[in-house]
Structure 1
Amino acid sequence: MAALVAVVTDSTAYLGAVAGVAVVPVQVVGHDLTSGAEETRRGDFTSGTRESSRGDFTSGTEGSSRGSSTSGIEGSSRGSSTSGGRISPRDRLSRFGRTPPGNRTSHHPPGSFSSDLAFDEDSFTGDLASATTSRPAPARFAACYSALAAGGATAIVSIHVSGELSGTIESALTAARDAPVPVEVIDSRSIAMGLGYPVLAAARAAATGASLDEVVTAARASMRTTRTFFYVDTLDYLHRSGRIGTAASLLGSALMIKPLLHLADGRICLLEKVRTSSRAIARLEDLAVQAAGKGAVEVAVQHLAARERAEALAERLHKRVPDLRDLRVVEVGAVIGVHVGPGMLGLTITSSDA
C-alpha cells in the first residue's frame, strides 16, 4: 500500500496572498490548525547576531486528495493539512462538513478572531493593545489527526510554531501519542513564513508519494536554509506578550530605537538597533540581499497594516536579489499581529533547492 502522508501545520489567513504559488492541484478535505496561538512566556531580549539554523517567520502548505486541509495553496495528492488561500479556509472546509479548529485571538470588549480567517484591518489593529492569544487544546489536534487517518492518511507530519514562543507544539505532542496513525511532530523553531517554507517543502515531498521519513527530511532541510529578519515600529507589543524583557522595551522607547530582530534557537532576539524607520527598512533589505547570496532563493515579505511599504520593499528586492525564484507579499494574521503590532515588516529567505 502506498504511503499517504498528511502534513499538518498552524497557519493563518495571510497565506491568501500566496494562493497562486502552486505545487500540485489539490482537493481540499480535512481540518486546519491555525497558527500562532500561544501561552505567554517570558523571554530574554538577547542581543547578538546569532543565526538560527532552523528557519523563521509562517505559512501554510499544500493539500491533498487524501485528508488535506488547505485553502488556495495547492498541494499534494498525498495529503497536507493547512490553511491559506483567497477563499476562506472556513468556507472551503464547510463544503466537506468540517470546521477548522483554529487558534483564537480574543479582544476586549468580548469577541474573538480566529486566525484561519482574514481580519478587518481597521477594526482589529485598533484593538491590538488589549488582545490576547491562547493555544489550541490537544483535543483539536486529536480530532484533526483522526479525521486525516479516516480520510486515508497512513502517517502525519505535524509542523508547528516555535515551542519557545508558543505552547502549540505541546498540544500537538499530547495528541500525537494516541493518534490512530504515526505522527511526527516537528518544532519549526520559527514563526510565519519561516514555518511556512518547511511546511511547503514537506507538502511537496508528500505530493510525490514520499515516505514519512522522506517528508520529515524535506521539512528539516528547508528549516536549515530558512532565515527571517523583521522590523517592528515599537517593542511594546512584544513586551506585553512576554516575548522580550522589560528593560529592552523601555530602552527602545526611551531612545526611539527601531529594532531589527531575528529568530535564534526559536526565540526572538535583537539583531541590530537603528535610529529611524527608513534606515531600519533599508537595513532589512540589505540583510535579505546578503542572506540570499547568489544562490536560487524564495523570498516572502510579510507585514501588518503596511502593505505599501511591503510592496515597495518587494519591488526593490526583485531588482537586487540575483536568482530570485519566487517573491511573495503576505499580511500576517490576527494571532501574530497581537505580538508584533501594526507597521511590522518581515523578510524570510529560503533556498529554492532545499
Structure 2
Amino acid sequence: MAARRTAVVTDSTAQLDAATVERLGVVVVPLQVVIGDEVYDEDTDAGSAERITEALRGRTPVSTSRPGPAVLEELYARLTAEGHDEILSVHLSGAVSGTYESALLAARTVDVPIRTVDTRQVGPATGYAVESAVARLREGATLDAAAKAARDRAAAAESLFYVDSLEYLRRGGRVGAAAALVGGVLAVKPILTIENGTVASKEKVRTASKALARLEALAVEASGEQQVEIGVAHLANPDAAATLTEALTERLADQLGGREVRCSELSAVLGVHAGPGTVAVCVAPLPV
C-alpha cells in the first residue's frame, strides 16, 4: 500500500523562516497588512515588519486582513489535485483572527480528509505546533494524531510579550482580557500573555528595563526543568531582543540541550497590533 501523502498548511504569523518551511515541507498562507489604501501580503518586502513600523510611527493608517475562505479553498483544491490524500491546516488563535474560520469554511469544499487546528496561540507557539505535527506525521501517525500533537504542543507553550504601549492593541480591538490596563497605559509597562486564545495581562511594571528583566525571569520559570525550545521575536527593538536571547541561551543551557534560541523580527501582522518596541518570548516544552 502506498504511503499517505499529507499536506500541512499554516499561516504566515507562525514565524517559520524560509529554511524551516522548506525543511518541514509545509505550505504557508500569507495574511495581509493594509497600509493606507494598499494591501500587501505580509511575507513580502512591501508588507514587511520594517515597512509597517515606519507606517505606525508616521501615523499612517495600518490594519490587517485574514485570507478569505476562497483563498484557502483554492489552496486545498490545488493540494488535492497535486495528489495529496489528506490535509492538516494549523493556524493562529481564532479568537484574534478570522484565519481559522476561513480554514473551517474552506474545508467543507474538499473531497479529502482535512483537519483544521485552532492553536489558541500566536507567533512562534503556532510554529512549534506545526513542527510537532510534521514530526508525528513523519513517524507514521494518523491525521488525527498529528492534529492532536499540534494542539498539545500549543497548549503547553507559554507566550509572553512586552509592549511599549497598549495603544496598538486597543486600536485593533485585540486587547482582550488586558482591557483593564488601557486606562493606565501611560503609567505601566505591561507584560502580556496569551490566555484562552486572547491577550491577557500577566504583570505590570514601571519601566521598560524592568519589563525585559521580568520577561527573562518568567521564561526561565516557564521552562522549569523541562527540555524546551524557545523563540524570541521583536518589532523595531533588536538590541533588547538580542540581549534577551543571549541571557536565555546562557541561563537555560541545560533545558535547551544545544538547541538555538531563535530570534527574529515579529510577523508584520502581529506587529501591527503589538506596536514598535515589542519584545516577545515563547517557551515551548518538547513533547515527552
Please name the residue that 1:270 is paired with. Answer: 201
Give TM-score scaled by structure 1 length: 0.74
Question: Which of 220, 236, 241 is matched with 1:305 structurally?
Answer: 236
Shift of residue 121 of structure 1? 5.0
Question: Which of 50, 53, 76 is matched with 1:145 structurally?
Answer: 76
Please name the residue that 2:55 is paired with. Answer: 127
Does 1:340 find its partner at 2:274? yes
Q: Which has the higher contact order (CA 8 A, sep 6+)?
A: 1
Shift of residue 154 of structure 1? 0.9
Matched ranges for 1:1-354 at <5 A: 1-12=2-13, 14-16=15-17, 19=19, 70=21, 72=22, 74-76=23-25, 80-82=26-28, 102-108=30-36, 110-118=37-45, 119-120=47-48, 122-128=50-56, 129=59, 130-244=61-175, 248-253=181-186, 255=187, 257-321=188-252, 322-325=254-257, 326=259, 327-354=261-288
SS in 2 for 1:162: coil
**Count of residues paired in the alignment:** 278
Question: Deviations along 1:243-272, whole A, 9 cap, x unmatched?
Answer: 12765323112x2x1000001100100010
Report which of the two has the higher share of helix.
Answer: 2
SS in 2 for 1:156: strand
Shift of residue 6 of structure 1? 1.4
SS in 2 for 1:126: helix
Work out the percentage of aligned pairs sharing the same amino acid: 39
Which residues of structure 2 form unaligned runs of 5+?
none
AA aligned to 1:252 is V
Question: Deviations along 1:140-198, whole A, 9 cap, x unmatched?
Answer: 11111111111221111111111111111111101101112111111110110111110
Give TM-score scaled by structure 2 length: 0.90
AA aligned to 1:288 is A
Distance 1:243 1:120 in 2: 20
Which residues of structure 1 form unaligned runs of 5+?
20-61, 63-69, 83-100
Mapped contact 1:258–1:273 kept (Cα < 8 A): yes
SS in 2 for 1:171: helix
Question: Deviations along 1:15-73, whole A, 9 cap, x unmatched?
Answer: 33x73xxxxxxxxxxxxxxxxxxxxxxxxxxxxxxxxxxxxxxxxxx6xxxxxxx4x4x
Question: Deviations along 1:118-148, whole A, 9 cap, x unmatched?
Answer: 4455543121242011111101111111111
SS in 2 for 1:218: helix
AA aligned to 2:43 is D
Shift of residue 343 of structure 1? 0.9
Pairwise CA RMSD of aligned residues? 1.9
Change in 2 beyond 3 A, CA 1:124/1:224 = closer
SS in 1 for 2:16: helix
